Amino acid sequence: MTVCIDNAQHSLIIDSGAHCSIVARNYLDNHFPNWEKQLLPTESKKFQSASGKMTSIGTIIKEIIIPHRKGNIRLNPEFVVLDDVHN
């Protein structure tokens, strides 16, 4: 799904059954300069993928605008930032 974040279009995968929203540190590095100033501490959580453990370094809140013909939808989800996600 294409959404707007910080006045730019981004593609997101929405999984309505996911335990939480996650974003990779390298994605933030590539698309949001100075994102680390918005990083909030997070409680210790363990994440696992098919390729191994993933490390949480904090959370970040980003306003997301989902375009809709009857009026845009604005959300402010909290994303867990993962340090070691591989594409």
Q: Which domains does the chain have, with CATH numbers?
A: 2-82 (2.40.70)
Q: What is the DSSP string of the chain?
A: -EEEETTEEEE----TT-SSEEEEHHHHHHH-TTGGGG-B------EEETTEEE-EEEEEE--EEE--TT--EEE--EEEEESS---
How much is the pLDDT for 17? 85
The mean pLDDT value of the chain amounts to 89
List the chain residues with pLDDT less than 50: none
How much is the pLDDT for 87? 55
